[in-house]
Amino acid sequence: MIAKEQMAKVIDHTLLKPTATFDDIDRLCEEAKKYGFYLVCVSPCYVSYATQKLSGSDVKVGTTVGFPLGASSPEVKAFEAKKAVEAGASEVDMVINLGYLKSGDYYAVKEDIEGVVQAAKEANPETIVKVIIETCYLTENEKVTAVKLCMDAKADFVKTSTGLGPAGATVEDVRLIAKLVEGKMGVKASGGIRDLKTALQMLEAGATRIGTSSGVAIMEEFK
C-alpha cells in the first residue's frame, strides 16, 4: 500500500464552495502544511491570499478557470488563467466547453483549451494546466474525443470532474483516460473521493493526482 507521505503528495486539497471565507482558506492552508499536501485548490479570488499564507512552505496553489460550467468565452478563460498565474497560482484547472464538444465543434474546443494553455504559460512557463472534461455528461466516444483534444492542445493533465456535476470520478473513467494518454499527460481524479479506499482505487486505475475536499479524512485513515 502507498505510504502516508506519498498519498499526501498526490492530493490537491480543495475548497471551492461558494460560501468559503478567509477563515476557511486559513484552515485549508494550515491543513495542507500539516499533512504535506501537494497543493491547495481555491477559487480565483483567493489565489493571492493563499499564496501569501503558504509562503515559505512547499505547498503549491492551484485554482479554476471557467468553473464550473466551462461556458465562459475563450477570451475570458484565457484572461482568467493569466490573472490567476500572476496572482501566484502554479496550476490552473479549466473546464472544457461541453456545449462545443456536444455540438461537434472540436476545433472550437481545442482552441478554447489552447488559449488557456498559452495564456497560463506565457505568464509562467512552469504553470500546469489541467482540463476538466466532466465525464458524467459525456458518452464513451465523447470522452475519447475530449481526451484527444486535450492532448492536441498541449495541456498537462486531464481531470475527470468539477465535483459539482451529478456524478464525480469513476474507476472506469480514470482507467480509460489513463489508457488514452499513455503516460504523456497527468490524470486527475476528482469528485466524490472521500475516503482512502476510493483514493487508492483511483490511483490503481491510473490517476496521478487526486482532487478532494476530504484530504484530512483520507490522511487520518492511515494507521
Per-residue model confidence as pLDDT tens digits over 16-61: 999 999 999 999 999 999 999 999 999 999 999 999 999 999 999 9
Q: Where are the domains of the chain?
A: 4-220
Does residue 112 carry a catalytic annotation?
no
- Per-residue pLDDT band for 95 (boundaries 50, 70, 90) equals very high
Average pLDDT, the chain: 98
Q: Which CATH architecture has domain 4-220?
A: Alpha-Beta Barrel (3.20)
Does residue 159 carry a catalytic annotation?
yes
Mean pLDDT throughout 159-186? 97
Does residue 93 carry a catalytic annotation?
yes
- Per-residue pLDDT band for 223 (boundaries 50, 70, 90) equals confident
Q: What's residue 1's pLDDT?
A: 77
Q: Annotated catalytic residue: which of 93, 112, 156, 173?
A: 93
Q: Annotated catalytic residue: which of 60, 77, 130, 188?
A: 188
Question: HEC states along the chain?
Answer: CCCHHHHHCCEEEEECCCCCCHHHHHHHHHHHHHHCCCEEEECHHHHHHHHHHCCCCCCEEEEEECCCCCCCCHHHHHHHHHHHHHHCCCEEEEECCHHHHHHCCHHHHHHHHHHHHHHHHHHCCCCEEEEECCHHHCCHHHHHHHHHHHHHCCCCEEECCCCCCCCCCCHHHHHHHHHHHCCCCEEEEECCCCCHHHHHHHHHHCCCEEEECCHHHHHHCCC
pTM greater than the 0.85 cutoff: yes
Mean pLDDT throughout 82-92? 98
